[in-house]
Amino acid sequence: MAPKLHSRQLLTIICEADLERQLVTELHLLGVRGHTITDARGQGAHGDRDALWPTSANIRIEVLCETPVLDAVLNILEESYFKSYGLVAFVSEVAVLRAEKF
């Protein structure tokens, strides 16, 4: 029997490492139940983010959630983060097992 897959949203946020504590707190207040963070570096509108020291480091936050939580998170990002911070967010639809976890 094929395993039962469920559709969920995968939100990926790449942002300044300094935002980690604040953003993660905010995500969980909005109903996100788990997240994964990896160190990242790269280049973009905010120049070279080479991770040579903490101030120039980026992180990549991944969150699996349902559409209402996703919308709430995206609204907060638009309201409070996009204007002042180096931050990109994108969403893709993915299939997960154990839907109750996300």
Partner 1 sequence: MPFEPVILFFLLGLLAGIVRSDLKIPGVLYESLSIFLLLAIGLKGGIELARYPLGSLAGQALVVLAAATLIPLVAFATLRRLGRVPRADAASIAAHYGSVSVVTFAVAASFLGRLDVAYEGYLVVFLVLLEFPALLIGVILAQQADGQTRWGPMLQEVLSGKSIVLLVGGLLIGWLAGPEGIKPLDRLFIDLFKGILAFFLLEMGLVVASRLGDLRKAGAFLIGFGIAMPLTGAALGLVVGNVLDLSVGGSVLLATLFASASYIAAPAAMRIAIPEANPALSIGAALGITFPFNLLIGIPLYHDLAVRLAREI
Q: Is 12 in the site for partner 1 (CB under 8 A)?
A: no
Q: Which helix (H) or strand (E) holds 69?
A: helix 67-76
Q: Is 74 in the site for partner 1 (CB under 8 A)?
A: no
Task: Evaluate the CA torsion angle 8, 14, 19, 21 in order and state its sign.
Answer: positive
Q: Is 84 in the site for partner 1 (CB under 8 A)?
A: yes
Q: Is 85 in the site for partner 1 (CB under 8 A)?
A: yes
19/37 Cα distance (integer angstroms): 12
Site residues (vs partner 1, CB under 8 A): 16, 18-19, 21-22, 25, 39, 47-48, 50-57, 80, 83-85
